[in-house]
Amino acid sequence: MHDPQQQLDATDRRNAAAVRVRGLRKQFGGQVAVDGIDLDVPSGRFVGLVGPNGAGKTTTLSMITGLLRPDSGTVEVAGRDVWRDPVDVKSRIGVLPEGLRLFERLSGRELLGHLGALRGFPRQEAERRTSQLLDTLDLVGAQHKLIVDYSTGMRKKIGLAAALLHNPEVLFLDEPFEGVDPVSAETIRGVLERYTGSGATVVFSSHVMELVESLCEWVAVMAVGSIRAHGPIGEVRGSAGSLHEAFLHLVGANGRGTPGDGLDWLGGGSRSGGAE
């Protein structure tokens, strides 16, 4: 029978923020990396976190995923406080961090089997998921190779498999496409699209605006530790021709003159001239 309460719960879940950040701040010595940000990331979307080098993206993602303790502020993921309820939150999220550290002396297949056991799956279920992930991510040929011998792209893919193994509600990826060839990028993209299609949320950081524009429905732009804009991608793009243009405007890169103007010694004319 139709249950209005159940329908209400489902609507609430869809409208609830996957990530809710309030007053999040982190300082390293005299350097403010994240300057008291507020952000509500909608659930069930493909979300991009973009910003120039040093904007604070990695620091923000590390605090959101429980890897780095904030100086102040709160983070909720799937309605749970990350720093008060870390074990519960970590069972609901998958993370592909920057500079991912893996068990280098295990093979790809051994790594996933080991993580399956840590996550408490029966051996058979862990093996079923492992085989499917290796197959989908085109890693079957490398499954018995030690991870220390994996290429950059292969490391990203096995890291993604590890982050997906327990079917998390929210997946956080720091630069998932960096160092990945176009074929592997297509594979990763396909897996992530299928995953968000089922109602899960993906939050990923990137510098590649074209990629963000083609993948994401929602975007947050960071610069110097602050959120400069956030919302559906069309809103953030506004009247600019592309997200790339809107991004340059939002992070204040448009008024910096022609890149390279300060390098008057670079180029042919002054090549022979040292001290005279």
Task: Give least dist CB 54 to ligand ATP, A.
Answer: 4
Q: Which of residues 8-37 bind ligand ATP (CB under 6 A)?
A: 28, 31, 33
Task: Give the nearer residue to ligand ATP in terms of CB position, either 21 or 126.
Answer: 21
DSSP state of 141: G
DSSP state of 201: E
Task: Give least dist CB 70 to ligand ATP, A.
Answer: 13
Task: Give the nearer residue to ligand ATP in terms of CB position, either 224 or 240.
Answer: 224
Contact residues for 196 (Cβ-Cβ < 8 A; gap 6+): 44, 45, 46, 202
Q: Determine how many CB atoms are found less than 10 A away from the CB of residue 16.
A: 15
Contact string (CB under 6 A) for ligand ATP, positions 58-97, x = contact: xx--------------------------------------
Distances (CA, A) of 46 to 14, 24, 154: 14, 22, 23
The reply to whether 107 sits near ligand ATP by the rule CB under 6 A is: no
Size of the site for ligand ATP (CB under 6 A): 11
Q: Which helix (H) or strand (E) holds 17?
A: strand 17-28
Asked if 50 contacts 209 with a C-beta cutoff of 8 angstroms, the reply is yes
Largest CA distance in the chain: 91
Which region among 46-54, 88-96, 177-185, 192-200 touches ligand ATP (by CB under 6 A)?
46-54
Task: Give the nearer residue to ligand ATP in terms of CB position, either 111 or 250.
Answer: 250
Q: Determine how many CB atoms are found less than 10 A away from the CB of residue 201.
A: 25
Task: Give the nearer residue to ligand ATP in terms of CB position, either 51 or 153.
Answer: 51
3-class DSSP state for residue 227? strand
Q: Which of residues 253-272 bind ligand ATP (CB under 6 A)?
A: none
Q: Which of residues 124-183 bind ligand ATP (CB under 6 A)?
A: none
Task: Give the nearer residue to ligand ATP in terms of CB position, either 29 or 268.
Answer: 29
Task: Give the nearer residue to ligand ATP in terms of CB position, either 55 or 216.
Answer: 55
Contact residues for 168 (Cβ-Cβ < 8 A; gap 6+): 92, 93, 94, 200
The reply to whether 211 sits near ligand ATP by the rule CB under 6 A is: no
Q: Residue numbers of the site for ligand ATP (CB under 6 A)?
A: 28, 31, 33, 51, 53-59
